[in-house]
Amino acid sequence: MKNSKSKKRVALVLDNTDWAYRCNMDVLAGCQQFAAEAGWDCVINPFADRALASRQSGRSFDGVIGHASPALAKAAGRAGVPVVNVTVNASEDSPVLKLPAVLPDCEAAGALAAEHLLARGFRHFGFLGFARNTFSRRQRKGYHAVLKREGFSCNDHQFGMNRHIANAEGWESFTSKLEEWVDTWTLPIGLYVTEDLPCRYLIDVCQSKGLQVPQDVAIVGSHDDVVICTSSSPTLSSIDHGYLEIGYRAAALLQQLMSGKNPPVDPVLVAPVELIPRQSTDAFGVEDQIVRKALRYIAESSHQMIRVNDVARAVATTRRTLERRFKDTLNRTIADEIGRFRIERAKRYLVESEAALKVVALDAGFTDANHFYKTFVRVEGVSSTQFRQRHRRGHAPG
């Protein structure tokens, strides 16, 4: 343990209104993990800008990590104290944008949500997000980019972050506009929502209108707040943005800044860890009942050594007929779909375990490691090893 006189004193600044959400707790845990290794003295202070600006407190902190505000950016600049920002939202002219930052890759999260819903066979899509919110806007950009690439459009709805809970009138307006938006949908539809809690509001509206989740409406949330995602039915599929790693890497960056190193020119982006599938997307959004049954069989059996003929037998039709219906419905082959599900299964194994690549390949249904390696590079654009390093839980090395 380092001598207390040489300890760095670091302030952790979290949003004073919602700091107990899982995303903020994970950032805190990642910071504390690095702090324990580095021998720092960390304190939570949502008003660190006031301490830095106080003449009596002087250099009250050696560094700051957290949700930076313009006031914090200015106070830290005057005090000569380095700050690492971990929040996406800032206006275009905010001094916060000039701070070193470690941020979630929101566009990658949006792309992940789109790919998940596309793999489930959905052909109609929607996005529910916050108006004038950078985090939400970047999620939407990544989501739209994948849908556009595949030839699909998206039905969007945006709302103010806190207006829906400000008072009874705001709540009634919020839910009324959600109902109006629902009436514009073409079913079945796949949706991506900017946070987990609004998913619950949306599910309530859907159920009040007689829509079933996930059969009519499949929903992907964001942040994977486990209490929100699993506390009621249906459980909610959601994206883990990797906030534990964000916290750890932010602390590692602050260590470099406190030792006098220059900050990176661009924000450090942390890729989402994974999309955790639960009941809210446990459906296939295709109208052809035979294709839907085939997709479910593939989803449940792709880790086994199944072939196209096995799928056709499972749904009691001929291979030629099923191939034609797949082409008409999904514009993909049965073999493509088997490979897609195997890759998704392999990606989960890579992130969630330390198993050797040969074991991952066999567990995901590939015949051998070489076949797995070639297929993974072709589909994902990176090797399975690179994917594991980029998305693994915990923290990044060095």
Entry pTM: 0.79
pLDDT at 322: 95
Question: Where do the domains of the chain lie?
Answer: 4-104+243-272, 106-241+276-281, 289-391
Inform me whether the pLDDT recorded for 257 exceeds 70.
yes
At 285-316, the pLDDT tens digits run 877 889 988 988 998 888 898 999 999 999 99
Write out pLDDT tens, residues 141-151: 999 999 999 99
Which neighbouring-strand residues pair with 155? 126
State yes or no: pLDDT of 272 exceeds 70. yes
**Can you name the CATH fold of 289-391?**
Arc Repressor Mutant, subunit A (1.10.10)
For residue 2, what pLDDT is reported?
Answer: 45
Q: Which two tokens stand for residue 320?
A: 């030629």
Inform me whether the pLDDT recorded for 277 exceeds 50.
yes
Q: Can you give the chain as a three-state secondary structure string?
A: CCCHHHCCEEEEECCCCCCCCHHHHHHHHHHHHHHHHHCCEEEECCCHHHHHHCCCCCCCCCEEEECCCHHHHHHHHHHCCCEEECCCCCCCCCHHHHCCEEEECHHHHHHHHHHHHHHCCCCCEEEEEECCCHHHHHHHHHHHHHHHHCCCCCEEEEECCCHHHCCHHHHHHHHHHHHHHHCCCCCCEEEEECCHHHHHHHHHHHHHCCCCCCCCEEEEEECCCHHHHHCCCCCCEEEECCHHHHHHHHHHHHHHHHCCCCCCCCCEEECCCEEECCHHHCCCCCCCHHHHHHHHHHHHHCCCCCCHHHHHHHCCCCHHHHHHHHHHHHCCCHHHHHHHHHHHHHHHHHHHCCCCHHHHHHHCCCCCHHHHHHHHHHHHCCCHHHHHHHHCCCCCCC
Q: Is the predicted pLDDT of residue 72 greater than 60, yes or no?
A: yes
**Region 203-208: what's the mean pLDDT?**
96
Q: Residue 93 pLDDT more than 90?
A: no
Q: What is the pLDDT of residue 51?
A: 86
Residue 392 has pLDDT above 90, yes or no: no
| pLDDT value at 17 more than 60 | no
Mean pLDDT of the chain: 88
A 10 A CB-CB count for 171 gives: 14
Task: Give the pLDDT band of residue 163 (cuts 50, 70, 90).
Answer: low
CA distance 186 to 337: 24
Six token digits for residue 34: 């690095």
Q: Do domains 106-241+276-281 and 289-391 have the same CATH topology?
A: no
Check residue 132 and give its pLDDT.
Answer: 85
Whether residue 5 has pLDDT greater than 60? no
| Confidence band, pLDDT 50/70/90 cuts, at residue 397 | very low
More confidently predicted of 337 and 396: 337
Distance CA 316, CA 309 (A): 10
**Per-residue model confidence (pLDDT) at position 258:** 96
pLDDT at res. 186: 95
> With 80 as the cut, is the pLDDT of residue 4 above it?
no
The fraction of the chain above a pLDDT of 90, given in percent, is 59
pLDDT category at 53 given cuts 50, 70, 90 is confident
Domain 4-104+243-272: which topology?
Rossmann fold (3.40.50)
Categorize the per-residue pLDDT at 395 as very low, low, confident or very high, splitting at 50, 70 and 90.
very low
What superfamily would CATH give domain 106-241+276-281? Response regulator (3.40.50.2300)
In the structure, what pLDDT confidence band is assigned to residue 23 with cuts at 50, 70 and 90?
Answer: confident
Buried b (16+ CB within 10 A) or exposed e, 188-212: bbbbbbbbbbbbbbbbebbeeeebe
pLDDT over threshold 80, residue 15? no
How would residue 58 be classed by pLDDT, with cut points 50, 70 and 90? very low
Across 48-53, average pLDDT: 87
Strands 102-104 and 155-159: unpaired
Most confident of the ranges 77-91, 243-257, 293-307? 243-257
pLDDT number for residue 46: 87
Does the pLDDT at position 122 exceed 70?
yes
Tokens representing 113 are 């949500």
Which tokens is 196 given?
């987990």
Residue 152's Cβ-count burial label (10 Å; 0-12, 13-18, 19+) is middle
